[in-house]
Amino acid sequence: MLKLAEQLLEVMQYQQQLYIQLSEALDNETDALQASNINMINASYDQKAMILSQIEEVEDLRKQIVGSIAQILQVDVKNLRLRELSSYVNADIAKRLVELKFSFDRILADVKDKNLLNQMLADKALDLVNGGIQVIHDAIQGTKTYEKGGRLDNKKEQQRHLMNKKI
């Protein structure tokens, strides 16, 4: 049981490092979005994808270890919590597990905040691009002009536009 608790501690420490790397990658993404640099955005996406893949692998390992511990303690794995586990291990490991839990809470809150910020920045960038497309679209569209009596004025040169669409 002690060996499993030590393995769990090591895995959680590695997970913590990965989440810190993810937080840093999100900072890079924020910088890329603010700079509107597509190459930086792509690089940041690739970096995040790699880190998230590693997090998934480590999470699977953590679940296996927790499942083994739950089996030994004869408790449902869904009900096993770090505070409960800490009562079954020595004081040093228990203290480190609880500290990791609080550290994870802070890091995950930070990651969540950065994700929200990046989502807002990406949405604003998309709105800006869509707005620009709409302005260009409106500018090259011919406007219909009506004569007295409601008939359409079919003159060749109705209006000058931002862009000349004649080739």
Query: Residue 86's domain is classified under what CATH number?
Result: 1.20.58
Does 128 fall in a domain? yes
Does 167 fall in a domain? no
Q: What is the pLDDT of residues 153-166, one digit of tens each?
A: 555 444 555 555 55
| Structural contact between residues 163 and 139, judged by C-beta atoms closer than 8 angstroms | yes
Does 59 fall in a domain? yes
Please state, in angstroms and as integers, the Cα–Cα distance from residue 90 to each residue in 30, 93, 136, following that order.
Answer: 42, 6, 68
Q: What average pLDDT does the segment 48-70 reach?
A: 93
Q: What is the pLDDT of residues 111-127, one digit of tens each?
A: 999 999 999 988 888 87
Please state, in angstroms and as integers, the Cα–Cα distance from residue 80 to each residue in 33, 43, 58, 98, 143, following that order.
Answer: 40, 39, 19, 14, 68
pTM of the entire structure?
A: 0.73
What is the span of the domain harbouring residue 87?
A: 2-141
Does 110 fall in a domain? yes
pLDDT at residue 167, as a whole number: 47
Nearest residue to 86 (alpha-carbon basis) of 74, 105, 77, 99: 99
pLDDT at residue 141, as a whole number: 65
Does 158 fall in a domain? no
Look at the chain and report how many structural domains it folds into. 1
Q: How confident is the model at residue 142 (pLDDT cuts 50, 70, 90)?
A: low
| Structural contact between residues 143 and 159, judged by C-beta atoms closer than 8 angstroms | yes
Does 117 fall in a domain? yes
Tell whether the model's pLDDT for residue 137 goes beyond 70: no
pLDDT at residue 152, as a whole number: 61
Two tokens at 32?
């890329």
The count of C-alpha atoms lying within 13 angstroms of the C-alpha of 35, restricted to the half-sphere facing its C-beta, is 13
| Structural contact between residues 1 and 88, judged by C-beta atoms closer than 8 angstroms | yes
pLDDT at residue 129, as a whole number: 76
**R_g of the chain, CA atoms, integer Å:** 29
Which residues pair with residue 152 across a beta bridge?
A: 146
Tell whether the model's pLDDT for residue 107 goes beyond 80: yes
pLDDT at residue 164, as a whole number: 54
| Structural contact between residues 58 and 10, judged by C-beta atoms closer than 8 angstroms | no
